[in-house]
Structure 1
């Protein structure tokens, strides 16, 4: 199941976010990461979708962190899918795809024409998923884009 995260989900979200940052070679820091996420959510600066296990319904297994912003070049609102993470023990079960689909659906609901993301050059697994989901590389800006309309 995928749904928007609330502050009640903050502890589980923080655990996943900490694992995500460790994957990108950042040090673990639960309190700092929790504070960052809480501030983004309380200030409505980010939208977070969380994935939950189909069997153990209350167990969080993944998330996306999405930032609504604007593109001067497009003269419109865009979404930046800044972070996507699925627990390493259950990858390749479609959770990442579902999180991306929820992001694209959100873009449509908000009338946003573009979802943009970045990922590490060496993260070929993620890049494969993004390409499969319709994202294309924009070599001019070094980004992956998905037109939601």
Structure 2
């Protein structure tokens, strides 16, 4: 098994997993839209995607979006997406993906990685906490839906 930075050569396989990730969060399946979304991220360097591959098959991914901290005047990465194919779960694939993201963030000079997960997703919460992520108790996070 190996983890590496994805590019447009991985778009077909990655789109299928990305679609499954969206379905997990209650969205309708739309592989073509998933492919177009990812293609735009690659085209404009709007995100960084790491994939896990086993025997030539992409089995998981994590996607980081760039941001900045005005206070520290440094890069921040938003770990927005993490997904592992069901048949590969509980095999440390997610941990490998997180480690790749963390190493990338360190090399880019980032001050931190931030992420959010659904309150009911206790499996993800346990994973993140096992990797040293701390639940924020200093700030409330707000969102404004525009559609």
Is TM more than 0.5 here?
yes
Residue in 2 that maps onto 1:22 = 23
Query: Is the Cα–Cα contact under 8 Å of residues 74 and 109 in structure 2 kept in the other structure?
Result: no
- Report deviation, 1:74: 3.2
Question: Distance in 2 between the 1:118 and 1:142 partners?
Answer: 12
- Report deviation, 1:108: 1.0
- Report deviation, 1:76: 1.8
3-state SS in 2 of match to 1:96:
helix
Residue in 1 that maps onto 2:90 = 92
Give unpaired runs (5+ residues) of structure 2: 142-147
3-state SS in 2 of match to 1:119:
coil
- Over 3 Å counting, the alpha-carbon distance change for 1:59 and 1:121 in structure 2 is same
Question: Distance in 2 between the 1:63 and 1:141 partners?
Answer: 28
How does 1:1-149 map onto structure 2 within 5 Å? 1-53=2-54, 56=55, 58-141=56-139
Question: Distance in 1 between the 2:111 and 2:100 partners?
Answer: 15
- Moved >3 Å (runs of 4+): 140-143
Question: Distance in 2 between the 1:96 and 1:138 partners?
Answer: 21
Question: Distance in 2 between the 1:59 and 1:40 partners?
Answer: 22
Superposition TM-score, scaled by structure 2 size: 0.91
Cα deviation per residue 1:27-63 (whole Å; 9 max; x = unaligned)? 000111110000011100100000011xx2x100000
Superposition TM-score, scaled by structure 1 size: 0.90
Question: Distance in 2 between the 1:97 and 1:126 partners?
Answer: 11
Cα deviation per residue 1:80-113 (whole Å; 9 max; x = unaligned)? 0000000011100000000000011001111111
Question: Distance in 2 between the 1:138 and 1:72 partners?
Answer: 18
Which stretch of the first structure deviates more once superposed, 104-113 or 65-74?
A: 65-74
Matched residues, number: 140
